[in-house]
Amino acid sequence: MTEREEELRELVEAEVRKNKESVENDPYRLTYHHMPGAGLMNDPNGWIQWNGTYHLFYQWMPFHTGHGAKFWGHRTSRDLIHWTEQKPALTPSEWFDKDGAFSGSAVVSDDQLHLFYTGNIDGDGEPEEEYQCLAVSSDGMTFTKKGVVAERPEGYTSHFRDPKVWHHEGKWYMVVGAQTEARQGQVLLYQSPDLENWEFIGPVAGSFQGPLKAFGYMWECPDFFHLNGRDVLIVSPQGLDPDGMDYANTYQSGFFTGSLDYEAGTFDHGPFKELDRGFEFYAPQTMEDEQGRRLLVGWMGVPDQWEEAHPTVDNHWIHALTLPRELTWRDGQLIQSPVEELQEMRGPVLLHSSITIENDQKAVRGVEGRSIELNLEFEKLGDQFALEFYQYASFSYRNGILTLSRPRLDEHSETEFRRVRLERPLESLRIFADTSSLEIFVNGGEEVFTSRIFPQPEEEHILFTSLGESTFSIEKWNLSGWTLEQG
């Protein structure tokens, strides 16, 4: 570890200590989601399990609640419930990453953990340059930077970032988000025999590639993997215009499915589908754990989307990460399910069977609280069914359309909406509420709505409304939350 790296880590520790009381006493502090000890948290990075331990790295600006020269924060767990905060894995300490150790991924080779990340050098309102860099560790805690392993190819701007690396049939591959000189977003493919020498293959997907026309001016945070007989490319395109119920956030995150021809470097894929329909979801990353599960974690935020209006800024922190989700296929759809380990947080179950509401709004005895899990199973639905959370957010179903609404964060007198049309009728909802967040899994995870919410801190009521007659059963658990210790 260099003297500059040690100095930066000491500054981070001092900043967290300085803000510890205000962050921990914030009424919107989360109980079972990753949030920063101070400052701003964004993209999950380097998400991997190695020798039984889950390593979750994350983009972190500890010194203020805006973006800037990011660190890689680092947390570890054996069970996804009990976590330890380690020292920052990467700091913006070298010439090639002095203005930020930006997003990337992790792989294991020769019993060493390899972190691939983007080194950022600031320009005048744009990155002056971005490099793909490598750092290596034999213990998963202390990382030695190897420097730049890939520079941007000709024909592309300095928006060139977020490497995701994987192994296939004896070779290593890397996808990187990029922007052409014509200001079109693409994903670039690289190949390597040894993780240090990388050959540029070409654009594998993006605007004016394959079946796509113009599709955003920058593609961030690509992720590529094989799942149940098909190849999947997850990406976060910037610059998509709203289209009906789709693309309602400032920037989007979604996926393509198809088949990658590794020899030709081409990806034959279908249409783009958003991964999450809520207000705050971006830059997801996946990995395959030692059980063979494909697990996803996303950022519970969106860049440039009223970030300064989040009330937690007043207490020197902002943003969080989603719950870990297992990805599977069912009936031709990508399914997202909360990992089963989360059940360890449950207290005793409260069960109500066959509740009927007709043309009325009611509370259900015992169904309240701000750190809870709900499971609703529907037997019959009226013309409209809705849940109201804490006199703040509403989630409703009518004519096959689900709608989540809340006050606009920048203008509380106005209401904003996120919607999706279901491919089949509403059958079930699984809801995780955590002080200032909602994650709603629809029909077993066919659709998901992830959002931050900021109701009055003392408000715990949940109301159920039906126009016409609706009948449903509900299970409710208080959740104990998970632990985060200092390493």
Residues with catalytic function: 43
CB neighbour list of residue 146: distance below 8 Å, 6 or more residues apart: 133, 134, 135, 136, 196
81 phi/psi in degrees, rounded to 5: -120, -45
Between CA 220 and CA 67 the distance in angstroms is: 16
Do residues 371 and 388 make contact, with C-beta atoms less than 8 angstroms apart?
Answer: no
Do residues 162 and 154 make contact, with C-beta atoms less than 8 angstroms apart?
Answer: no
15 phi/psi in degrees, rounded to 5: -65, -40
CA nearest 450: which of 393, 385, 400? Answer: 393
- Tokens read off for 403: 């709608």
- Tokens read off for 62: 């500890």
Between CA 193 and CA 191 the distance in angstroms is: 7
Between CA 46 and CA 74 the distance in angstroms is: 9
Do residues 250 and 302 make contact, with C-beta atoms less than 8 angstroms apart?
Answer: yes
- Distance, CA of 422 to chain centre: 22
Q: How far apart are the first and last CA of the chain?
A: 18
CB neighbour list of residue 159: distance below 8 Å, 6 or more residues apart: 126, 127, 130, 177, 178, 179, 218
Do residues 32 and 482 make contact, with C-beta atoms less than 8 angstroms apart?
Answer: yes
Between CA 20 and CA 316 the distance in angstroms is: 9
Between CA 225 and CA 233 the distance in angstroms is: 7
DSSP letter at 241 equals P
Beta-carbon-side half-sphere exposure of residue 366 (alpha carbons within 13 Å): 12
Do residues 391 and 461 make contact, with C-beta atoms less than 8 angstroms apart?
Answer: yes
> Could you tell me the CA-to-CA distances from 42 to 34, 58, 145, 297 in Å, in that order?
10, 7, 22, 11
